[in-house]
Amino acid sequence: MQAELTPVVDAVLRDTRDDVERDVAAAVADASALLAAAGEEAEAIRARARADGEAAAERLASAAVTTARREGHEAVLGAQRRVYEAVRRGAHEALVQAAGSAGVDALLARFEGLARARLGPEADIRRLNGERVGIRATAGIRSIELTVDELIEREVAQLADRVESLWR
């Protein structure tokens, strides 16, 4: 099943690489700007506070730098989360658009085989329609639903190192 998704995931990764790099570069630039501004603000605080006492100035400067670091880190994490969501969403959209193609039909046939293996050969299997690509199978009171969304989640989790490499 992973082999069928590899070309789709690779295509989505290629298509989103520029956007990802731009988002990450912007997040890093924002973080750098925040750090620079915090450094400037910290220096100004130090200069004003020298008259009031070095100890008070150091505490304020440290708090400003800590806040800027936290905000910069949050900006980078936000960009990384957007990248992850873009990859996941892109893979899902590619499979929805490819519905009815030989590759997706083969994947659904594999889902059907898995359902029959779990529920038995007499399982009633129906393909899902619309945005949900997958199958729902029932046999008596037992049922199983296998969807591309679940498969994408597992595959993206397994590809975490490759996705993470986009912002290194």
Q: Which residues contact 60 (CB under 8 A, 6 or more apart)?
A: 42, 45, 49
Give yes or no for a contact between 116 and 137, defined as CB atoms under 8 angstroms apart: yes
Take residue 75 and report the two structure tokens written for it.
């900006």
- Average pLDDT for residues 64-86, to the nearest whole number? 84
* Phi and psi, residue 99, nearest 5°: -50, 135
Q: Return the pLDDT at 119.
A: 95
Q: Return the pLDDT at 111.
A: 93
Take residue 129 and report the two structure tokens written for it.
């329609």
- Average pLDDT for residues 117-138, to the nearest whole number? 90
- Average pLDDT for residues 95-108, to the nearest whole number? 78
Q: Is the pLDDT of residue 71 over 70?
A: yes
State how far the Cα of 56 lies from the Cα of 17, in Å rounded to an integer: 46
The confidence band for 11, taking pLDDT boundaries of 50, 70 and 90, is: low
Take residue 16 and report the two structure tokens written for it.
């989103």
The confidence band for 4, taking pLDDT boundaries of 50, 70 and 90, is: low
